[in-house]
Structure 1
């Protein structure tokens, strides 16, 4: 039975690095890996019109951006500059059609592309985050 730990100093330094936790950059890298997968799935699921826009207006697919919060959180959505977020909301959720007199007509069903993107990318997002965190932990352990 062994009564001594071999390479005790190396073992202690590995434990110290793991105890330090994840830095902000490492959290951002892991979250960004997942956000990139979701962003691509959202781009693929977002409807694209055949309209040719002028004067800087962009299609919904081209208005998808990601923002990094100071906490390390990465959020995916539609850019404020493009002013297309409200259009995306109507397309996703649907709306009640009204005429110019304010009379309500039929309910226009939503396409639910956001939910579809979440559903189709869930496993791949988790796998991308897991892969990024595993690479970080392997580097900290020294593999």
Structure 2
């Protein structure tokens, strides 16, 4: 069974929004480790990667899974009304766009997006699928 994983605290103060996880795990190794913890914590949705995914791409799948999981949780589970959740998702989108800047060479604040940028650059994935 996966370990419990908590994102931390999102905050909204007027126009100032803070996403849980921002400015943590800023190097690629710790960012990818963060994504792996997320995937393992949600083993019921992600167990298949350990059995059917070749080892050399497993980390990249975990990176993309973490992106999807985080976005889903922002929209469904963040402790705000629908307006607040939309604001969180819009902030997430802006940080994603920053990650994708200049061919995935931007400077996102979130470790998941650091890992997603690494994967997207390696496999030449455009911004559009995200």
* TM-score interval, normalised by the smaller of the two chains: under 0.3
How does the TM-score come out when normalised to structure 2?
0.25
* Richer in strand (by share): 1
* Richer in helix (by share): 2
How does the TM-score come out when normalised to structure 1?
0.24
